[in-house]
């Protein structure tokens, strides 16, 4: 099941998802997921991540400054728009609501399944969207698959120690 149904997507957005089964319960995985400073270790597209004026646990309305892509790219501000403990975390671009990162944890008896969705705007209508999907689609999909695998590895390492 997809995180987003097609009717839920904002118009003109590219949408990619990945999922993986985790060897932990959602509570353990969610704690790692909310550690924003560790995102560059497992999210390949994120070069740096830091919370703005935040201390303590991640909360609804908190702002996160992310440097995405190349090292020379500008930082982008995201806001925590949805936060349901041990279940989901959604960040939305502060200046573009069509830029969104969504993490969901689904309980599966004594394990969890992580689903990551990445949405970003595409321009120039259907043709621009198709061209973006053709040129960048494989790279973004592979990046999300790699991110879920790296998250699982980081989670396993934290459970062992």
Asked if the structure places residue 3 within a domain, the reply is no
Higher pLDDT, 63 or 132: 63
Give me the CATH number covering residue 156.
Answer: 3.30.530.20
Asked if the structure places residue 4 within a domain, the reply is no
| pLDDT per position as a tens digit, 57-111 | 899 999 999 988 766 678 889 999 999 989 999 999 988 777 889 999 999 888 8
Asked if the structure places residue 79 within a domain, the reply is yes
Asked if the structure places residue 7 within a domain, the reply is no
Mean pLDDT to the nearest integer, 117-146: 80
**Band of the pLDDT at 149, cuts 50, 70, 90?**
very high
Asked if the structure places residue 6 within a domain, the reply is no
- How far is Cα 12 from Cα 158, in angstroms, rounded to an integer? 39
Query: Strand, helix or coil at 14?
Result: strand
The range of the structural domain enclosing residue 122 comes to: 12-160
How many H helices and E strands in the chain? 3, 7
Asked if the structure places residue 57 within a domain, the reply is yes
Q: pTM for the full model?
A: 0.83
Burial (CB count within 10 angstroms: exposed 0-12, middle 13-18, buried 19+), residue 158: middle
| pLDDT per position as a tens digit, 45-57 | 888 999 987 677 8
Asked if the structure places residue 2 within a domain, the reply is no
- How far is Cα 25 from Cα 124, in angstroms, rounded to an integer? 43
Mean pLDDT to the nearest integer, 4-27: 77
**Ordered DSSP codes for 43-86:** -TTEEEEEEES--SS--TT-EEEEEESSTTSPEEEEEEEEEETT
Please count the structural domains in the chain: 1
Asked if the structure places residue 5 within a domain, the reply is no
């Amino acid at each position: 099941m997809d995180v987003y149904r097609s009717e839920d997507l904002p118009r003109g957005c590219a949408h990619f998802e990945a999922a993986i089964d985790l060897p932990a319960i959602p509570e353990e995985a969610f704690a790692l997921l909310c550690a924003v400073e560790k995102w560059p270790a497992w999210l390949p597209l994120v070069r740096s991540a830091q919370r703005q004026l935040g201390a303590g646990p991640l909360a609804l309305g908190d702002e996160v400054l992310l440097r995405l892509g190349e090292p020379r790219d500008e930082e982008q501000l995201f806001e925590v728009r949805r936060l349901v403990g041990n279940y989901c975390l959604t960040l939305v671009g502060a200046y573009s609501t069509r830029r969104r990162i969504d993490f969901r944890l689904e309980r599966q008896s004594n394990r969890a399944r992580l689903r990551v969705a990445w949405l970003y705007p595409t321009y120039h209508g259907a043709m621009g969207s198709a061209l973006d999907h053709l040129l960048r689609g494989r790279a973004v999909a592979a990046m999300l698959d790699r991110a879920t695998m790296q998250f699982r590895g980081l989670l396993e390492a934290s459970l062992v120690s």
